[in-house]
A = this chain, B = another copy of it.
Amino acid sequence: MIRMVLFIITLLLMGACKEANQQKSHHPSNDDQFPMYAMVIHGGAGTILKKNMTDEKEKAYTNALNEALSIGEKILKNGGTSADAVEKTINYLENSPLFNAGKGAVFTHHETNELDASLMYGNDLSAGAVGGVNTIKNPISAARTVLEKSEHVFMVGKGAEEFASLHDIEMVDPSYFYTERRYKSLKRIKDQESTELSESDDVNKKHGTVGAVALDLQGNIVAGTSTGGMTNKKYNRIGDSPIIGAGTYANNKTCGVSCTGHGEFFIRYAVAHAISSAMEYGNMNVQEAGDLVINQQLVEAGGTGGAIILDQNGNIAMPFNTEGMYRGYVNPHDRVIKIYKD
């Protein structure tokens, strides 16, 4: 009889325990505000310190991030899709020479540019990516075309360019990606005969990459990432940005993620998918999942970088383990732009 009572108590307590765990889960806020829209963006992470920044440069980055947020916000507010918001926002960042993506892409060892991008839809887990392209003006738009117009997920090099050119994607001469600033960076690094992760701005070592994650009024999450890779890279190296699961992931059930950082670590730790998995199986919210992967697992491994994360209730996290990360978000209640640590 006592055993029976204990057994019943056990069952009751196990139920209570499970419920407590679920309350710790994904949606600590905004539950009452659904449907809502939200977008979070990044423009790279790294050794970005206030003391090394000029007012002029800080203003240029802040203005660019603000403008990018406005592009996505306008689309989302008017009932547009998160796919449009992410693509158009990233197009703007790709067209800016400030960021290591599109126009501002860094140079490879062979003085060429090799751009990567990926995009994923959280409603059906469809995905598209291009790698190592240098005649596509906006790689994120090519990634979207792979997603929507092909049976494939990932195309690289000349094949990806051929596919894009057949689908009304704007093609450019490789010289479009020449910028004096990036070319000088390459020369400087070649003189030092070392490989440097993304851009070197004299004092600011940064992991250049841009990304956006958006939630639209229909409740769909889309995540996208675009990059110019690593200055002075050789051997057609591919980083995490075009790798679904590493640089980008989206699942309406969990979250959308876009990463920026030392790509090799982000691939090995499958960072974007790991954050989604920690929410799916580990019952964590966006902040807990992001901290676990970016601020624990990657820090222990020596992998630098950050991520932006957004769930279906509009909860946002922007964890990074570097000195700074160009980042910001917008929703019906807030607009935030940040560069340094809080």
Which A residues fall within an 8 A CB radius of B?
9-10, 13-14, 16-17, 120, 125-127, 131-132, 150-160, 162-163, 195, 233-239, 243-246, 249, 263-264, 267-270, 273-274, 277-278, 280-282, 301
- Residue of A9, A126, A151, A278 ringed by the most chain B CB atoms within 10 A: A151
Shortest Cβ gap from A150 to chain B (Å): 7
A-B CB contact pairs (8 Å), 18 listed? A10-B13, A13-B13, A17-B17, A125-B301, A131-B156, A131-B238, A151-B195, A151-B264, A152-B233, A152-B235, A152-B264, A154-B237, A154-B238, A154-B267, A243-B244, A245-B245, A270-B270, A277-B281
Choose among B13, B157, B301 the residue that contacts A157 (Cβ–Cβ < 8 A). B157
| Alpha-carbon distance A155/B235, docked complex (angstroms) | 6
Contacts A151-B195, A273-B273, A273-B274 given; does A236 touch B268 at CB 8 Å:
no
Choose among B120, B237, B243, B269 the residue that contacts A155 (Cβ–Cβ < 8 A). B237
Establish whether residues B14 and A238, one from each chain, have CB atoms under 8 Å apart when the complex forms.
Answer: no
Shortest Cβ gap from A146 to chain B (Å): 8
Choose among B126, B267, B274 the residue that contacts A153 (Cβ–Cβ < 8 A). B267
Establish whether residues B267 and A244, one from each chain, have CB atoms under 8 Å apart when the complex forms.
Answer: yes
Establish whether residues B152 and A268, one from each chain, have CB atoms under 8 Å apart when the complex forms.
Answer: no
Contacts A13-B9, A195-B151 given; does A162 touch B267 at CB 8 Å:
no
- Smallest CB gap from A230: residue in B: B152
Shortest Cβ gap from A115 to chain B (Å): 14
Establish whether residues A268 and B13, one from each chain, have CB atoms under 8 Å apart when the complex forms.
Answer: no
Contacts A244-B246, A244-B270, A245-B267 given; does A236 touch B155 at CB 8 Å:
yes
Shortest Cβ gap from A53 to chain B (Å): 29
Establish whether residues A132 and B156, one from each chain, have CB atoms under 8 Å apart when the complex forms.
Answer: yes
B-side contacts of A235, CB under 8 Å: 150, 152, 155, 159-160, 162-163
Shortest Cβ gap from A301 to chain B (Å): 7
| Alpha-carbon distance A17/B270, docked complex (angstroms) | 31
Establish whether residues A268 and B159, one from each chain, have CB atoms under 8 Å apart when the complex forms.
Answer: no
Shortest Cβ gap from A160 to chain B (Å): 6
B-side contacts of A120, CB under 8 Å: 268
| Alpha-carbon distance A245/B154, docked complex (angstroms) | 14
Establish whether residues B13 and A238, one from each chain, have CB atoms under 8 Å apart when the complex forms.
Answer: no
Shortest Cβ gap from A255 to chain B (Å): 14
| Alpha-carbon distance A159/B238, docked complex (angstroms) | 10
Shortest Cβ gap from A119 to chain B (Å): 12
B-side contacts of A162, CB under 8 Å: 234-235
Establish whether residues B159 and A237, one from each chain, have CB atoms under 8 Å apart when the complex forms.
Answer: yes
Establish whether residues B268 and A237, one from each chain, have CB atoms under 8 Å apart when the complex forms.
Answer: no
B-side contacts of A127, CB under 8 Å: 267-268
Shortest Cβ gap from A83 to chain B (Å): 15
Establish whether residues A249 and B237, one from each chain, have CB atoms under 8 Å apart when the complex forms.
Answer: no
Contacts A125-B301, A245-B243, A268-B127 given; does A156 touch B273 at CB 8 Å:
no
B-side contacts of A150, CB under 8 Å: 235
Choose among B157, B243, B274, B282 the residue that contacts A132 (Cβ–Cβ < 8 A). B157
| Alpha-carbon distance A282/B21, docked complex (angstroms) | 13
